[in-house]
Amino acid sequence: MRWISPYFEEGTWIRGNFHTHTDVSDGSHTLEEAAENYFRVCHTKASPWMDYRFLAITDHTTTGKKEMYRPIENTDPDKKCILIEGREDSYSHHILGIGCRMTFQEDIIQKNQADYTLEDYQRVIDEIIKDGGIAILAHPHWRFADYFSGEMTAKLERYTAIEIINGDLYSGPGHLATDVWDAALTAGKRVWATGNDDFHSVRDMHNAWNMALVKEETKEGVLDALRHGSLYVSNGAVFERLYTDGDWIVAECHHDSLFDLPEKTFRFIGQGGQLRQIQTGKGKTAAYKYQGDEQYIRVEMCLSWGMAAFSQPFFPEK
Ligand SMILES: [Zn+2]
Ligand SMILES: [Zn+2]
């Protein structure tokens, strides 16, 4: 038996946010200010995982100010930052499009939110894909518990990821959404987790982010990692490596001596969100051996300081 790892075998870990608003919609900052906030505040050579390297700009389609919009190419002459164009389709429950152009007032469904069917959401996803984008279901527990329910995540097709942590502190981020992610994975979907600030102003910064293992530090490299699942979600914990070795899945906490101090709890979670194995202690490595009935296994690592990191699922080879 061999595990299929979503992680590239080699590459560079880089940090980024896939959900950013600017003053083109309801954000408080210009594109340049938003980028500057991320790249100035976090720029520290001592701890490369603290350094933001990519940012997707995802203004709302409903409130976008057309006169203020401009494509983001060439807005970062210093190449400090990989900027990725996208949008947040907001006519009904929000769906992020990453790597596609912003569109304005193009309501392809033309229904009240309450009248949206699963087919309507599928059309929104397919429109993002038609525009060259990657679809992410945003904040599944925002406003009410089943904003995107487990039934919806299990039935919708062709989306790439779910935003399991959302950091928008103004309108309330909603609960951790690993439950609807597990529902999708248990239904046989191969979809990934992302965690994002949903940046509207500086109050939303650094609440959740993605560490992507990229083959190249370019926009295409980031999009490739997102499609492939070569990334993990964090709000403060850092993995050194996530890999497979025969029957084993191995998760390693970052080797930096900073992480010698806290206890680490590694949870290996499978279908139905079931806890399959747990390890707590100062040890930086945890491993899980294939038992024979797994549909998938994903790893959560929680530091005794309270921060956590969430791996993507590993699948047994059929
Ligand atoms: Zn939203
Ligand atoms: Zn948003």
**For residue 245, what is the domain's CATH number?**
2.60.40
Phi-psi region of 12 (alpha: psi -120 to 50; beta: other; left: phi over 0): beta
Is the pLDDT at 212 greater than 70? The verdict is yes
Contact in structure between 61 and 106 (CB atoms under 8 Å): yes
Is residue 298 domain-shared with residue 164, that is, in the same domain? no
Instruction: For the sheet with 248-253, list strands across it.
Output: 239-245, 248-253, 285-289
207 and 247 both lie in a single domain: no
Distance separating alpha carbons of residues 143 and 315, to the nearest angstrom: 32
Asked if pLDDT for residue 98 goes beyond 90, the answer is: yes
Q: Is the pLDDT of residue 128 over 80?
A: yes
Last residue in a domain, options 234, 258, 287:
234
Average of pLDDT values for 108-128?
Answer: 95
Residue 7 domain flag: no
**Mean pLDDT value across the chain:** 93
Whether residues 50 and 152 fall in one domain:
yes
Q: Looking at the structure, do residues 203 and 89 belong to the same domain, yes or no?
A: yes
Q: Domain boundary residue among 234, 264, 280?
A: 234
Cβ count within 10 A of residue 309: 24
Question: What separation in Å is there between the alpha carbon of 19 and the centre of ligand 2?
Answer: 6
- Mean pLDDT confidence for 172-177: 86
Q: Is the pLDDT of residue 44 over 70?
A: no
Rounded Cα distance between 231 and 142, Å, is: 23
Mean pLDDT across 145-155: 95
CA of 249 to the centre of ligand 2 (A): 34
**pTM for the full model?**
0.96
Please report which ligand is nearest the Cα atom of 174: 1
If asked whether residues 291 and 167 sit together in one domain, one would say: no
Do the domain assignments include residue 179?
A: yes
Q: pLDDT at residue 151 above 90?
A: yes
26, two tokens = 């309801």
133 and 260, same domain (yes or no): no
- Residues 182 and 205 reside in one and the same domain: yes
Answer yes or no: do 254 and 195 share one domain.
Answer: no
Structural domain ending residue among the three candidates 175, 201, 234: 234
Q: Say whether pLDDT at 40 is over 90.
A: no
Structure tokens given for 56: 């997707």
CA of residue 68 to ligand 2 center, whole Å: 18
| Domain assignment of residue 278, given as a range | 239-316
Task: Give the mean model confidence (pLDDT) for residues 160-164.
Answer: 98
Ligand 1 center to 165 CA (angstroms): 12
Average pLDDT over residues 77-100: 89
Whether 288 maps to a domain, the answer reads yes
* Counted domains in the chain: 2
Rounded distance from Cα 151 to ligand 2 centre (Å): 23
Let me know if residue 4 belongs to a domain. Answer: no
Produce one character per residue of 129-163: b if its CB has 16 or more CB atoms within 10 Å, e if not.
Answer: eeeebbbbbbbbbbeeeebbbbebbbebeebbbbb
By the 10 Å C-beta count (0-12 exposed, 13-18 middle, 19+ buried), 262 is classed as middle
Q: Are residues 102 and 179 in the same domain?
A: yes
User: 60: CA distance to ligand 2 center in Å?
Assistant: 7
Mark whether 28 and 135 lie in a shared domain: yes
Q: How does residue 71 score in pLDDT terms, banded at 50, 70 and 90?
A: confident
pLDDT band at residue 215 under the 50/70/90 scheme: very high
Q: What pLDDT does 170 receive?
A: 81
Q: Please give the average per-residue pLDDT across 215-230, as a whole number.
A: 96
What is the 229 CA–ligand 1 centroid distance (Å)?
Answer: 22
pLDDT at 312: 98
Is 18 domain-assigned? yes
Let me know whether 121 and 171 are in one domain. Answer: yes
Asked if residue 5 belongs to a domain, the reply is no
- What is the pLDDT, as a whole number, of residue 208? 96
Per-residue pLDDT for 237 more than 80? yes
The CA 206 to ligand 2 mean position distance, Å, reads 15
User: Are 273 and 206 members of one domain?
Assistant: no
Expressed in angstroms and rounded, the spacing between residue 148 Cα and the centre of ligand 2 is: 15
Q: How confident is the model at residue 74 (pLDDT cuts 50, 70, 90)?
A: low
For residue 95, which ligand has an atom nearest its CA?
Answer: 1
